[in-house]
Amino acid sequence: MFPLTSDDSPLYTVEEDTQPESAIIVGVVTPDETRWDVRDHLNELEQLARTAGADVTDRVTQSRTSPDPATFIGSGKVKELKRLAGKRGSDLIIFDDDLAPVQVRNIEKEVSCKLLDRSGLILDIFANRAQTAAAKTQVELAQLDYTRSRLTRRWTHLSRQEGGIGTKGPGETQIETDRRLIDKRMAKLRDRLDKLDQQRQTQRKGRSSHTTVSLVGYTNAGKSTLMNALAGADVFSENRLFATLDATTRTVELDTNKEVLLSDTVGFIRKLPHRLIESFKSTLDEVRESDVLVHVVDVTHKRYEDHMAVVNETLRELDAGDKPTLVVFNKVDALEDRNLLRALRKEHPDAAFVSALRGIGLQTLKEKLLHVIEKDYVERVAYIPVTEPKAIARVHELANVVSEDYMYAENGTGPQAVARMHFRAAERNDERIAEMLDPWDDLRPKMEDEVASS
């Protein structure tokens, strides 16, 4: 990584290497987790490493009552790790947990290859996957926040020399210089994200009359594939973690004259770095501001229940845990245990069971989603003069009109033609309709008397 001086250029650039790096992954077994848990966590870490472009040659585990403050895995295990890395010629060592700066420094003293923790690896994947200006800006901000917290007095940008008692000298001066550069760049990125967020809010206002639905789920659950199947879209999908970083929105028709706006969002994962959640605020706002969530679950994964728990916990962190949610178990065509499928149908009677790849169960999914959307609809009758065609058209736009007929009311100067509209609408749209109909509230008692007398 090399610092740049231009305010409009990324503070760091990364030299790409087409040759895959050789990696060793490391996990720690604590009293809170079993060896089986750690094994599954390392399986996921290996997937992350492959997504980043590394070949995992070995796994190292260590049992401890608590992580070692100095080296996380203990000095003896670090020496063992050093011997293994030397034997394999490893380029990279990846820890499944986040390491403190002092732990990184102490381990790097012993081993002679690059060191990454889980957050650093996920950030690297996000950096490689980012395509749009918004995603690139969000990732760079998260990376700089991550890097800043790991600057130490052995920061080697210009010099390893330490001065005085350990508080002055070229090494320390360079740290302060780089911190200022990072802080300046982060402030610039935050301003850029604020502008992008304003653009997103303007876009949301333009579609505020529509019901909005967001796809959420563990990474690689099949959200983008489901999006493509429902909307006939061309959202990028791949059998890898974090294939989608940007929120993509498409129109989906659930029933005749009943459309929703469906958004595909970034996948969640165990121990998703908090700095990523903060940086991707504008993207995750799609989740916060949606009317309904569709929680996509990869039913073929043996830890699907843990994945569901991670997603639900992340939604609570985003203040979206109480939103109406439809659970969708995906990839049912690849599920070998049919008994599990029967048990899930019994345990989750309101869920949908689909294969997004093969188009199985999509019509049922649409019906169940429509049921969730309409569960809290408000039903009422409105009276609008026929001389107000824009208002009548607006009711059709914001609500499902059950029936519409025309009547006459006496307005003092003669009969007045009035449209009687029986409709059902989402609560937020009902409030807009009620506000729009305020000028004709005096028609209601007259018309209701007319209806009663007839």
pLDDT tens-place string over residues 192-214:
888 877 776 666 555 556 788 99
Q: Which residues contact 74 (CB under 8 A, 6 or more apart)?
A: 62, 64, 68
- Residue 242: band (very low, low, confident or very high) from pLDDT cuts 50, 70, 90: low
- Are residue 385 and residue 395 in the same domain, yes or no? yes
Give tens-digit pLDDT for 262-273. 988 878 888 777
Give tens-digit pLDDT for 370-408. 999 888 788 888 889 888 999 999 888 888 888 898 888
- Are residue 357 and residue 439 in the same domain, yes or no? no
CA distance 73 to 40: 19
Q: What confidence score (pLDDT) does residue 294 get? A: 96
Q: Are 378 and 427 in contact (CB under 8 A)?
A: yes
For residue 278 the two structure tokens come to: 């903060």
Mean per-residue pLDDT for 424-436?
83
- Are residue 254 and residue 190 in the same domain, yes or no? no
- Kindly report the CATH number assigned to the domain that includes residue 439: 3.30.70
- Are residue 100 and residue 28 in the same domain, yes or no? yes
- Kindly report the CATH number assigned to the domain that includes residue 323: 3.40.50.300
Question: In Å, how far are 43, 62, 162, 217, 226 from 328, measured between CA atoms?
Answer: 24, 37, 57, 10, 10
- Are residue 32 and residue 132 in the same domain, yes or no? yes
CA distance 380 to 365: 28
Mean per-residue pLDDT for 405-431?
81
Q: What confidence score (pLDDT) does residue 278 get? A: 67
- Are residue 79 and residue 185 in the same domain, yes or no? yes
Q: What confidence score (pLDDT) does residue 131 get? A: 73
- Are residue 275 and residue 399 in the same domain, yes or no? no
Q: What confidence score (pLDDT) does residue 411 get? A: 66
Task: State yes or no: pLDDT of 330 exceeds 90.
Answer: yes
Q: What is the H or E stretch that residue 27 is in? A: strand 21-29
Task: State yes or no: pLDDT of 168 exceeds 50.
Answer: no
Q: pLDDT: is 24 or 277 the higher one?
A: 24
- Are residue 66 and residue 177 in the same domain, yes or no? yes
Q: What confidence score (pLDDT) does residue 159 get? A: 43
Nearest partner of 357 among 217, 242, 220, 218, judged by Cα: 220
**% helix / strand / coil in the chain, to the nearest 5?**
45, 20, 35
Q: Where a domain ends, among 339, 374, 409?
A: 374
Task: State yes or no: pLDDT of 5 exceeds 80.
Answer: no
Mean per-residue pLDDT for 165-180?
61
The average confidence (pLDDT) of the chain is 82
CA distance 396 to 381: 13
Q: What confidence score (pLDDT) does residue 11 get? A: 52
Q: Where a domain ends, among 327, 359, 374?
A: 374
- Are residue 171 and residue 78 in the same domain, yes or no? yes
For residue 352 the two structure tokens come to: 């949908």
For residue 402 the two structure tokens come to: 């059950």
Q: In which residue are the tokens 């879209």 written?
A: 233
Give tens-digit pLDDT for 438-453. 888 777 777 776 666 6
- Are residue 220 and residue 319 in the same domain, yes or no? yes
Q: What confidence score (pLDDT) does residue 326 get? A: 96
Q: Is 380 helix (H, G, I), strand (E, B) or coil?
A: strand
The domain tally of the chain equals 3
Q: pLDDT: is 67 or 209 the higher one?
A: 67
Q: Where a domain ends, among 206, 231, 262?
A: 206
Q: pLDDT: is 246 or 29 the higher one?
A: 29
Q: What confidence score (pLDDT) does residue 243 get? A: 57
Host domain of residue 447: 378-453
- Are residue 212 and residue 166 in the same domain, yes or no? no
Between 137-151, 266-280, 361-375, 419-433, the lowest mean confidence (pLDDT) is in 266-280
Give tens-digit pLDDT for 101-155. 889 889 988 998 889 999 889 888 888 877 777 778 888 888 888 888 777 544 4
- Are residue 307 and residue 393 in the same domain, yes or no? no
